[in-house]
Amino acid sequence: MANIQVYHFIGSPPSQAVIMTAKTLGVPLELKRLDFMKKEHLQPEFTKINPDQTVPTMIDEDFILWESRTIMRYLVGKFGGEDNSLYPRDLQKRAEVDRLLDYDLGVFYKTLIEGVWLPFKDRTPKTKEQEEKVTKVLSRFDTLLKDKKFLTGDNLTIADFSMVVGFIVELVYEGDKSKFPNAMAWYKRMQEETCFKETYDTIKDFVEMMKKQHAEMP
Ligand SMILES: N[C@@H](CCC(=O)N[C@@H](CS)C(=O)NCC(=O)O)C(=O)O
């Protein structure tokens, strides 16, 4: 088995999506943890590896790759066998996963991070516009999951991994979650998946640690 290294940060959702993919594929990762508090990702050693200074960053032998969704596709392509329901070969099924991943990158993840996570982390008030955007995105997501077990149907795909690590901001969401019953039911199902269990606990601990820090702040 190839030695795949992944630079990550403990509270980084996209890093967790890559870790979940590797776990599901049974690919052991050599995890290289960066301490963002110490700004290790901005140091010259890491900048040489990834000039964008972001995690996750993967190294497979001498091949370096970043952007979580691309890393997930690469891992399934390399270790997923002939065909793998995580990222199917069938053109149209694959296109559905790609559409969700693109939507996640451009809209879903971005909206939740900007409208829920950052106001919590930075203790800044949310704007009305941000709140409306978040509600719209969550309502749309809820509709997407109506009568579905996972995002594209009965099988887990890397789109579920990518979107659940963004959806985890529900831990600090102050709105009414009962308005999104399909999304919450999917989220609960995801928590029953072994690959997400550890991720959920890791991020939950991280959030608890931040809440404690906030409580101790003046
Ligand atoms: N689109 C990228 C986002 C990567 C990203 O921004 N990661 C954050 C951590 S969650 C990061 O490295 N931030 C660098 C910084 O804050 O300086 C992906 O999905 O991999």
| pLDDT value of residue 217 | 86
CATH class label, 91-216: mainly alpha
Tell me the pLDDT band of 58, cut-offs 50, 70 and 90. Answer: very high
Nearest CA residue ID for atom 16, ligand 1: 54
| pLDDT value of residue 71 | 98
Q: Residue 43 to residues 7, 49, 205: CA-CA distances in angstroms?
A: 13, 10, 27
Ligand 1 mutation pick, 54, 110, 111, 165, max ligand atoms within 8 A of CB: 54
Residue 145 main-chain phi, psi, to 5 deg:
-95, 5
Cβ atoms of residues 203 and 168 within 8 Å? yes
Tell me the pLDDT band of 11, cut-offs 50, 70 and 90. Answer: confident
Task: Measure the CA dihedral 45/49/54/55, to 10°.
Answer: -100
Q: Is the CB of 109 under 6 A from ligand 1?
A: no
Segment 92-121 mean pLDDT: 97
Tell me the pLDDT band of 1, cut-offs 50, 70 and 90. Answer: low
- CATH classification number, 4-79, choose in 3.30.420.480, 1.10.10.60, 3.40.30.10, 3.40.140.10: 3.40.30.10
Our answer to whether residue 162 is catalytic in this structure is no
| pLDDT value of residue 178 | 96
Ligand 1 mutation pick, 10, 16, 42, 55, max ligand atoms within 8 A of CB: 55
2 has pLDDT over 90: no
Which helix (H) or strand (E) segment holds residue 121: the answer is helix 118-122
List pLDDT tens digits, range 185-211. Answer: 999 999 999 999 999 999 999 999 999
Residue 138 main-chain phi, psi, to 5 deg:
-70, -35
Q: Where are the domains of the chain?
A: 4-79, 91-216
CA of 119 to the centre of ligand 1 (A): 17
Q: Which residues in 82-210 belong to E strands, given as ranges?
A: none
Report the share of the chain in percent with pLDDT over 90.
96
Q: Compare 148 and 1 and report the one with higher pLDDT.
A: 148
Segment 80-95 mean pLDDT: 97
Segment 78-99 mean pLDDT: 97
Average pLDDT, the chain: 96
Q: Residue 63 to residues 5, 10, 58, 198: CA-CA distances in angstroms?
A: 10, 23, 8, 28
